[in-house]
A and B are shown apart, each in its own frame.
Chain A
Amino acid sequence: MNWILSTFERLWVTALFLAVPILGVWTWVIADRYGWWFPENVSSYGDQIDHLFYVIMWMVAVTFVITEVVLAIVILYFTERKQGRSTYTHGSHKLELIWTAVPALLLVFIAFSQMEAWNDVKIDLPRGVATAEVPYTVDEPIFDVWASQFDWRVRYPDENGNFEGAGVIESPYDIYVPVDTRVVFRLRSRDVLHSFFVPNFRLKQDAVPGMAIPVWFEAQKTGSYDLICAELCGWGHYKMAGRVHVLPKDEYAAWLATARREHRSNGADDLVALGDGDDDDDE
């Protein structure tokens, strides 16, 4: 086999390898225009998460471009141009030290710079007594989310905060929360691992069978946001969707009151009274 490349082939291979960083950067540049980038952040800690993402992304991006360009240069200039004996080298101790120490320092930097975000998002949960500023605490979650194959059920406590018993409201798919409020809920699973993922909140938390994991977020903009399962949980994983509806505080209170009233329905709202209301025969 003859591995000597002609000049044309060498240029061609170099261009091929150069295309990787060029296409990669280009994809990043146009991503936002095509909606391939992050969805809108509406949660209080979303900026922290995004900031961490960007810090790491820039580190990786710069390293990526440099290594790819160096690779292309090496291909262009140092490809063997004639057949002959190989030469051997024991490597460079200095270089090895550098490429070990630099990533190690970067890792230490990441480890320390993420601590605040981790603390704020996962550890510093509102505990103790609920106040006007923090209406819900770990001890007083606003609702439970039960994951199971293949849907999300949200369980709202009764007026006294009980999660069991007659006044508990349970519904699939739709979760209603107040805006600008620290919402704490407990995440549970009935069967296997699931993951509660709301991209707009930058919130992702695994649901583990046997555990009631406290999760919190504070949505700062009203609207309806997608909830998806981010842990492959079985054949119906793809259909395990939901919606988180962020309502203005007064609307949330009104919704909760309506939900509680409907929960105590005497069945009359299931009547349909089929009339001939639908008379527009524009078929």
Chain B
Amino acid sequence: MPMTSSIRTRARALALALSFASLTVAGCKLDPKVPEQRHSLNQAELAKNPDLAGDPQAQATLSGALGMLFGTPAEPAYLRVADWIDDGYDPNLGGYDELTADEWDALVADNEVHFVRQLAAIDAGAFDDVARPLYAVDLWRRWEQHLALLEPDGDEPGMQPDDLLDPDDEKYGTWRDEAKRLFTGFYPTMRETADMYRQQCQHCHGVSGGGDGSTAQFLEPRPRDYRPGIFKFTALKDKSHPRRQDLARTLREGIYTTSMPSFARFSEARIQGLVDYVRLLSRRGETEILLANDFEAYSEDVDSSLALEKIRDTYLFVNDRWPTDDEKVIVVEGEVPEPTPESIARGKQLFLGGEGTGANCASCHGVAGLGNGISATEIDPETEKPVLVKDEWGNPIAPRNLTHGIFRFGRRPIDIYRRIYSGINGTPMPAHIGMQITLDDGTKREIDENDIWDLVHYVQYLGTVDIEPAVKLTANAMAAARAGHDDHDHEHGHGPGQHTHDDDETDDHSHDTQSDGAAVGGH
């Protein structure tokens, strides 16, 4: 009996092992199926347009139009209108067309670093060792076509690596030269960049760039929604759309102390490709919002040719909004001024000055720059409690605590200057240049470049001060403000402003209210 049971056990073990092995083999052969991704309509805009929300036919028209103009997540492509074809303008080429000669040289030099192994393998003649780069379907297709030239074709012998690629055309070097040029001159296609976006950006920024990826809800601040076409950080005035260089800078540097890291580990070509794709998503989103707001233009009762014209006009209008020149770049004449005690003192006066008498910074950033000014919050009409004001994307936004000395747009003096000069797009931070102020002696004037430099120097100074006195200063100021404003919510026993004339008593009564922090700091 023991013998048979042992044979049975072994047979069972063998069968189990075989089935595991076959499963493993089958598993390796299976190509994982990636679900096809689709752009979805901007739900916030739909909510604002009940007509459109209640009209599936019009929604389908809108989706179709956007698909025609901008392609799908897998195959993104701008539609080239007839004029563009005549002018030789193809937005799909992106930076390949737009980069200057210098920028292109830097891109090639960077490619030489990033493809160093592939280039070495080509030099060594080990063509099978050329590794396939990530996110490079089109590059790889071109490489395989190029490699096929070495194979004999019927009776024709294959090419040798050092043969001239095309003896009749001086433009081409040897097969090897051209093989290396595939890599050194690499600029990603829209499709390749979309692959990269899917892996590197989409989990925060979402399929359609709506800032609604799967990790977005855990982040503070929230990832950018590209669709309104508003980008916080540019070097430009007049709330202009960003240039290619502005977006590339954000990708290279990241946005410090947010979840947007630096992507400097990727090559320049990749970053420029991502700029192209972010711009495509943003133009798509802008076109969508404009069309959604003009729903009547393509609803059922409109002649379809008129609707097409409307869509085309919107498409061209959005395209023209994106600057390709330096017209709006904020530049100062000559050298950047150095901070002096006088300029810091002038800056402080402007910083603390209220609306009409100064730059009104303290109203949001607080008198000590802690980001706790009186305008930083508003009263929520439902709960009647103070909440942070919202930015244009609908997210709560806190004014920067300037005592941390962290500047998200960069800490070069010109970066801080540009922020104060033109404000931060999509946020309550306004442009300060040209703001009307009335001085103590009654004269009226506008905030000019020198005033902004004074403010820059004061802000830089705030980043160096010891935080402890700043906290006390703010606490005192808030206590004074509480004493000044009198109680407005008598019926709530724990209201922050109840017994304002006696600070100590206020502390005892006002746990869980926002006066806690200030009161603690005041001791």
- By a beta-carbon cutoff of 8 Å, the part of chain A in contact with chain B is 1-2, 148-151, 153, 162, 164-166, 168-174, 190, 235-236, 239-242, 262-268, 270-275, 277-278, 282-283
Contact = CB atoms under 8 A, between A and B. Distances in A.
Contact of B334 (A166, A171, A266): A266
A270 B339 contact: no
A171 to B, nearest CB: 7
Nearest to A155: B411
Interface stretch (B99-107, B311-319, B428-436, B438-446): B99-107
B128 interface: no
B261 A275 contact: no
Q: What are the 6 A-B residue pairs with the smallest beta carbon separation, nearest first?
A: A277-B101, A172-B262, A173-B264, A164-B464, A267-B331, A166-B460
B18 interface: no
Interface in B95-141: 96-104
B412 A151 contact: no
A1 B97 CA distance: 76
Contacts of A240: 261
Most buried by B among A166, A241, A262, A275: A166
Interface of B: 2-3, 6, 9, 93, 96-104, 171, 215, 235, 243, 245, 252-254, 256-257, 259, 261-262, 264-265, 324-326, 329-336, 338-339, 405, 410-414, 417-418, 457, 460-461, 463-464
Contacts of B99: 278
Given A263-B412, A264-B335, A278-B101, A164 B325 contact: no
B254 A266 contact: no
B412 A265 contact: yes
Contacts of A271: 326, 329, 331
Contacts of A170: 256, 410-411
A283 B138 CA distance: 14
A97 B417 CA distance: 75
Contact of A239 (B257, B261, B325, B326): B261
B243 A239 contact: no
Interface of B is mostly: loop
B414 A166 contact: no
Given A2-B6, A274-B325, A151 B414 contact: no
Contacts of A169: 411
Contacts of A278: 97, 99-101, 104
Interface of A is mostly: loop
A173 B235 contact: no
A173 B253 CA distance: 8
Nearest to A172: B262
7 contacts: A151-B261, A166-B339, A166-B413, A168-B411, A172-B253, A274-B100, A275-B100
Contacts of A266: 331-336, 414
A283 B104 CA distance: 15
A190 B101 contact: no
Nearest to B461: A165
A174 to B, nearest CB: 7
Nearest to A239: B261
B412 A236 contact: no
B6 A273 contact: no
A267 B338 CA distance: 15
Given A165-B463, A172-B256, A274-B98, 13 more contacts: A1-B6, A2-B2, A164-B463, A190-B257, A241-B265, A263-B412, A264-B413, A265-B336, A267-B329, A267-B418, A270-B235, A277-B100, A278-B104
Given A166-B413, A266-B334, A274-B325, A282 B256 contact: no
Contacts of A270: 235, 245, 329, 331
A275 B243 CA distance: 15
Contacts of B334: 266
A236 to B, nearest CB: 7
A173 B326 contact: no
Contact of B254 (A162, A172, A267): A172
B405 A164 contact: yes
Nearest to A234: B259
A166 B343 CA distance: 13
Nearest to B338: A166
A151 B254 contact: yes
A268 B418 CA distance: 13
Contact of B264 (A149, A174, A275, A282): A174
Contact of B261 (A2, A150, A166): A150
B335 A272 contact: no
A235 B267 CA distance: 23
Contact of A235 (B215, B460, B464): B215
A192 to B, nearest CB: 13
